[in-house]
């Protein structure tokens, strides 16, 4: 059985990736992973492909073990893996609770890598992997410090993964969007009253980000910068010292 797996599928980019796959490149079965069962069931009901709803918390070892056991029992061919589950919290590093700090690292780094590692034996030539990072990966980001660092980890991991799997015919793309205004990312990041960014200028839309990411992966590109802001950020951060980039960010976030 050929399947596609999407984590963080209950909303935002994950939901739009599911809709795109169902329309453009439908698998025999789509595995939808997130914590909120009712959201997943609602999405599954609207998609024109068979779906398996997997309400898993990927920061929980028991749920990760359950995912691995399901792979071993079903032995599917995974044609697409999209690691989209992620978490952000705004605020100075000393303002963010240890629990929230750990949750960001566990979900953005550890869970993404473990899900990828568990799934890799079932991905063959022609398979695709999309790791959803962020333009925050390109520089240190005050008031989003742990989040940016976690996405920098995922960005570098994806780059290496792309290099190592290239000869096996597996395409890996790091997806690095800018602000996306029609998802839950911004309000969740501001939980606890931390409104450290005043305006989200030039924010993109989820469907556009997903389309650009899918095109980049199909074209064999290791990086998707879905939008001019993301692309320019990637270029500028290569040449401008990080201390200057942080100072620029401090000005931009106060606009």
Here the CATH number for the domain that contains residue 22 is 3.40.50.720
Query: Strand pairing partners for 130?
Result: 82, 173
Q: How many folded domains does the chain comprise? A: 1
What is the number of alpha carbons within 13 Å of residue 133 lying toward its C-beta? 31
Residue corresponding to tokens 């073990």? 65
In 10 A of CB 132, how many CB atoms?
Answer: 29
- pTM given for the model: 0.94
What is the residue range of 51's domain? 2-252
Q: Residue 168 contacts by C-beta under 8 Å, 6 or more apart in sequence?
A: 125
pLDDT tens digit at each of 255 positions of the chain: 999 999 999 999 999 999 999 999 899 999 999 999 999 999 999 999 999 999 999 999 999 999 999 999 999 999 999 999 999 998 999 999 999 999 999 999 999 999 999 999 999 999 999 999 999 999 999 999 999 999 999 999 999 999 999 999 999 999 999 988 878 787 787 776 566 776 777 778 999 999 999 999 999 999 999 999 999 999 999 999 999 999 998 888 877
User: How far is CA 34 from each of CA 3, 4, 20, 64, rounded to the nearest angstrom?
Assistant: 17, 14, 18, 12
CA angle 250, 224, 111 (to 5 degrees): 80
């Amino acid at each position: 059985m050929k399947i596609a797996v999407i984590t963080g599928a209950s909303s935002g980019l994950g939901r739009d990736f599911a809709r795109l796959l169902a329309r453009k490149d439908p698998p025999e079965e789509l595995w939808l992973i997130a914590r909120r069962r009712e959201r997943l069931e609602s999405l599954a009901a609207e998609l024109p492909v068979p779906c398996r709803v997997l309400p898993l918390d990927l920061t929980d070892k028991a749920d990760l073990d359950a995912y691995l056991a399901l792979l071993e029992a079903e032995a599917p061919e995974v044609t697409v893996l999209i690691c989209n589950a992620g978490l952000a919290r705004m605020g100075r590093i000393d303002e963010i609770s240890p629990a929230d700090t750990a949750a960001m690292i566990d979900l953005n780094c550890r869970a993404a890598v473990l899900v990828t590692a568990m799934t890799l034996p079932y991905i063959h030539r022609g398979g695709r992997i999309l790791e959803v990072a962020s333009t925050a990966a390109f520089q240190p980001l005050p008031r989003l410090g742990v989040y940016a660092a976690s996405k920098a980890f995922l960005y570098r991991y994806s780059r290496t993964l792309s290099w190592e799997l290239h000869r096996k015919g597996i395409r890996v793309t790091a997806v690095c969007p800018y602000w996306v205004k029609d998802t839950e990312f911004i309000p969740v990041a501001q939980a606890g009253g931390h409104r450290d960014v005043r305006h989200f200028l030039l924010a993109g839309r989820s469907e556009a980000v997903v389309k650009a990411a899918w095109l980049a992966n199909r074209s064999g590109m290791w990086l998707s910068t879905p939008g001019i802001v993301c692309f320019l950020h990637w270029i500028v951060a290569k040449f401008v010292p990080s201390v200057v980039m942080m100072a620029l960010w401090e000005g931009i976030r106060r606009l």
